[in-house]
Amino acid sequence: MSTKPTVAYWSVRGRGQSIRYLLKYAGVDFNEKRYDPANKETWYTDKPNLGLDIPKLPYYMDGDIKLSQSLVIMRYLARKHGLVARDDPTLARQEMVEQQLYDMFKGYITALIDTGDDDAKWKDYCTGTLMQQLTLLVKFLGDKQWLTGQLSYVDFLAYEILDGMRAYVPPVVDKCPTIKQYLDRFEALPPIKAYRSSSEFISWPISGMSFKREPKINVK
């Protein structure tokens, strides 16, 4: 029986991708189980037999450790691999930006769904709400390389969320050179660079959801 940890998620980037990035950065050799979103019966069959207290995707298993909920997994792995703040003031800022990132992500997905093919509503969201949130994130980052001053799990969350946004609204992201530099800096981390150029990396789809709005970048 394999002693390697296992990460399971749909065969898309989504909420599983930050976990994959973190493990790759930490140099962890892990098994990956990918479920096909077009054939969910496999997941429904496995779901009650995994021994998870809350059977959801993504899940992470390593010996007696069996976790679900993406943020729980990220926090656990961050503590294990030293990618978490170590003092109370920084921990508080870390948790605050974590929640802000997820507010941005949820609002962004909602906008993609709700605006449909209404270009005026989509433009209002991008130039209004989203631009304000990106400006706030730039201010939070300040002159730091990473969101809490040192690389931590929130940077792995931030990268995936911002990279997903960049697929649909590159002009908005490009208006924030600090964000672009931040994304470039993350991609230049040697383990991340190697992973993104490997056959293991999922470049597309970013989400398992279907949107009327098409991405504005070329994807594989």
The pLDDT value recorded for residue 3 is: 84
Domains 6-81 and 88-197 share a fold: yes
The pLDDT value recorded for residue 219 is: 40
- The domain defined by 88-197 folds into Glutathione S-transferase Yfyf (Class Pi); Chain A, domain 2 (1.20.1050)
Taking the C-alpha atoms of residue 135 and residue 25, their distance in angstroms, rounded to an integer, is 28
- The per-residue pLDDT string of the chain (220 residues; one tens digit each, 9 = 90 and over) reads 458 999 999 999 999 999 999 999 999 999 999 999 889 999 999 999 999 999 999 999 999 999 999 999 999 999 999 999 999 999 999 999 999 999 999 998 888 888 877 889 888 988 899 999 999 999 999 999 999 999 999 999 999 999 988 888 888 887 889 999 999 999 999 999 999 999 999 888 877 666 666 666 544 3
Count other Cβ atoms within 10 Å, centred on residue 11. 16
The pLDDT value recorded for residue 220 is: 36
- Which residues does residue 171 pair with via DSSP β-bridges, in sequence order? none
- The domain defined by 6-81 folds into Glutathione S-transferase Yfyf (Class Pi); Chain A, domain 2 (1.20.1050)
- Which residues does residue 35 pair with via DSSP β-bridges, in sequence order? 10
* 6-10, strands of its sheet edge to edge: 31-35, 6-10, 59-62, 65-68
Taking the C-alpha atoms of residue 203 and residue 69, their distance in angstroms, rounded to an integer, is 22
